[in-house]
Structure 1
């Protein structure tokens, strides 16, 4: 009779460490009695001696069984042998300290691996055999909580990934995947009708045996039997033979059929047999829920999920091509199942210490000789589980790094496979970012609503010079968006697109008021529009040069050209768009695009074999063409998730949509929205009466859609104004928030100040063209205004819109900004413009623009490294609400920062006011304050009582059919253009001198002129006597220094530039800048 545990309590023994003292042997090798110093129990009452003895016997049986596993293949106890029946019975029992066999196995694995001196950070070879793993799996099938119970502060769920990941992944594989569970609860007949392969084949073999109808097969010894590998291979061959005999129709079953070899089965050759008559699917789901519940409770410990589960799995050796499949084991389905079991907050917050799981995973691309495809699928699973987690960063400030930034800046292994899968991982993260539409983590690592567009830009571009567009909005454009317009935008806008666009929003291509029918070809830029015309108000050319010749004949279907441009990219083959999440087009006018044109726009022209060359992968389709052909939609956007269809109330069309098989081709469709705009009450009544019939028809064609997935609405016909041209853009204001008004087609007289610079402009243009190619433009000017029209605008420019609605910087009237751009280019034609469109759609009070958009634009200009910033506007500087105060404080700080890094020009208000009460001119002494002058070089009456640093022409600007315009905003733009010309002149001189010798003064001149103090010095030297005698601000007369007649030849050019440069900044002037 076995001794009781209490018989040994009096025997002296050393204190045994938890989990280590139950396996002591004497010198003879025989087992010594277990001598615990304390008997622990989870119950309130002490265990009886009989219970102690039983638990002790269970402990010994666990220990011996596990020891057999540690000896390797062929040494395991065969639990189907009667000799080892007692061990089989002990599997479902608890030992002392409530240990189960999993605790004992994991402890033994730790000890064995520790004895091999294997570091904790390494992944050792798998020590357990398949037979041992089968036993462990069966134990958890019968006792789900064994995997999550704690004994001696150890939980198998958290210990297994660190010492034997095969245990962890075996148990996770027991969980029925969500995609399978949703298809189990059907009858055998329904299963055969709806599934090509019964989903019960995707349930593990041991779970199926447990849930067989007619008995408890958990007691059957065959539960522990292994399926012979040769038998499995033979069965697989039989499957392949059966598949090949099914013909072409069955050969396209896809992923589901290709994974049959991974399914466990008693007889793999019969996998086409439905198992619902043999397996209790309801019991499968009940047992599965028992395991899920146990796992979910344990996985609430977020930090342990990070440190003990995910981190040990995401190490290089798990993906090492040189290791066998047992060590390299990250099966995607099991990994995804585990991620689904984890609570969302595991992924919503970064760990207290160390990187996130996603960041750990992407860093593995720096390792060599890995299975990079497996690594990519693991990253994909992490991203798909919680897409918002991509925005989490570790570090602070400029050093904060998201997984995307880590991946982009990683020094990757130089292997073709690495390059391929790393680029796919980058594209995956980029697509998830751009397509994301929910709250994202803020700096406190909490999910909140923030400026999503700004968050996405910060995620994608930590270096704003690399910034690209990931959306396109041309809504509210007031001119015809014909082929010529699209080509102008393509050639002159400077826009560079990401490979992925969040959305594209296009207005009706031919707004009301645009002419119809053929017209003569004429130059838009030199034509004053008719009164009341909506033709381009900013197309007037100031320099008299030849503009783009465009056809005024309306061409049908122009958006084919636009989508072709997006697909083909720039002439250098870059910036090709390959994904558009949402396409939104207003095509509700009298001349909509044809169905064929829509198909061609989205898919291109079919080749001789009918293959379509392009697919933007559109997910949301909102092309508002009434009564569009359903086949056109199915062809244009075959992967659409959300489709909007628009009807004018013709029930014949509605019936066609409901009965047409075309919509059934949209296999990924999740939501169908029908908007009906009936022309009369009778049509409306017919449409309402057909609502149920329509939904019934759609569900017959698309049976995966529920009734709530189909929206059938008739919007209020009271009429809605789309808001076009109602935001006051370019209207101009007096007093606070002032922008001088200038109506369509305004021009300056070509004589006097501007005319006298024309020859020098030509002289400098020839010089700059002869300079060596350069990576950076000669000079960049940021123009912060209401946007700039592209028609008639020559030169290089790009821009960004800071409007809340994202409308592009060149869309809409853009009257004031277009005039300012013209003034800058008149003085310096070679200037590269960085156009910042401020937000005038939500301006409050008398402010022209929102302060927030001014701050964002200024930050964008600073980060893009422009030399000059022009702000031809001002507003009253007074604090009101706290939010507004915060915005103004931010803007004031940015003005001071910008003044240290660039040259800032700001306009004086055209009224009497205290300078310190006006922004941006009153925010910093380093802002160069510009006032307007008459054509005779005297300060205008509007600016006479306000101090300005310099004055330039700002009066008697002639307008066709109207009185002359005036304003300091024009003078400010001229000042920015003149400063740009100064920098071009000094830079050209510096480069020409560098070719001749080593004179360092020209380089210093450039550095000095790029400071506010230095440019003030240059401007004073360009002012002549204007305004200085009577104490007024200096009037700039650059033509006196530049000259008005010029020769040619390299020697003359160098000498002329040297003369101009030393006049603008003399050696005496340079002494005043010792540290520059």
Structure 2
């Protein structure tokens, strides 16, 4: 960053209206580096340097004439005391507004509220004490009454400081209480709890990955895989987590520059930033049976800015993806593009394509929060596809290990899923993409943060639910043609009954039903706890926690039994038929777990 600011100074820039620096990644800039970046300018009106717990003395040395200040707070009360202490923020002569953005939740909501209120009171008193006498209201009144000239108006120098804390725990999450709050004790504990959501889904995914659909699926019933269109910057198909999971793709890239390759499009089988690779592997982490079609977008790298997608390539890709002939079940878009005069035409195309897709009621559309902090609804609508007002979109925000929406995700979302310090199973994904959206790459830790991750998890979860229903429909069809017919009573109680057979309960109609956006939304809504109505965090424990280990165990036993049957046949053993019956029995037991789960999904 120092090079960039030096370039501005060398170009003769003296006044800056607003500075935004994303510095939440580890390691952040040092205080000395920040001072070197910002000194030398006559004025910086608005400072939003997104480093957690920024030192007030550093800010004063760098830009003491700041008018609006955004502070990113860890939740530590000691920092609030430092900001409001003598010689702290109160000594900034032109400071008028402070915005506090909370990045983690150490204390309870009630404790945070009390600490913030005391911070406001201390800062107000210290401001009054720090204000030079000639700028104090009572002194100015005396001067006015005596007819003497007044100094610069109080609105310009030493104004009262207003504090906006709408992006903190008690303001953003009023429904949380001590009874439901789970504090983040430390990073080690945080990692353990974070694994609770992902660990449950990892176990279930591992178990369902062992089920060979061909062994239970007649060719005339539900032969197609769950298809997902991933619109991103391409995917490295050599990634081991994506073997046999990328079935095709298309590039909307404008082509290489230089090296004699001008105009030759970059292939969808490579990734500019590895963001698309990470999104694809995250989707398949939750639904290993998903098949992904990759649409590669055009990536533009501008000096001093993060790489971003062009609106034209995004509109081109979405227009192709919504074609009913492609039969996509899900379209995943883990990015945002900010509107401006140059891209308005293409973003209008994108909006039209989104509405058209929603109107068909045939595809699930997932998109990410812009991760620009709390903003007004009108401002959030400046970021596409997130800004589209159609109710058919699934707008996803990142949440912490505790199921609390991260502040930078904003509050205009439909659902939140894990997206704060999520383990990267690839250990290779690079920094993220979009105007404002951050993928925090903690060096040497493999932890990633951003709503793009939560979006991929949401798309993967929807794909897994569809796959469970599809798998069950195929099994039911097979069972209805054998003596193993399953009844509705068995689905709900686990015991045999005499009611309608399962083929009428989980048939092709059920598969069509679960793919409808309205029904998938009902399933997601059912997974939201009453205590989490504000953040709308999707909890998976009720549906997936109980059977993940069992599925994995049964899968291994069945695999071993199949190998034993092959050996027995080669040896001409007399008990092969009994072993085959045992295999069928164990497979039926395993499939009944999936069938019961699928029945719950379609019954919501």
TM-score with structure 1 length normalisation? 0.28
Higher strand share: 2
Query: Highest Rg: 1 or 2?
Result: 1
Question: RCO higher in 1 or 2 (8 Å CA, sep ≥ 6)?
Answer: 2
TM-score with structure 2 length normalisation? 0.48
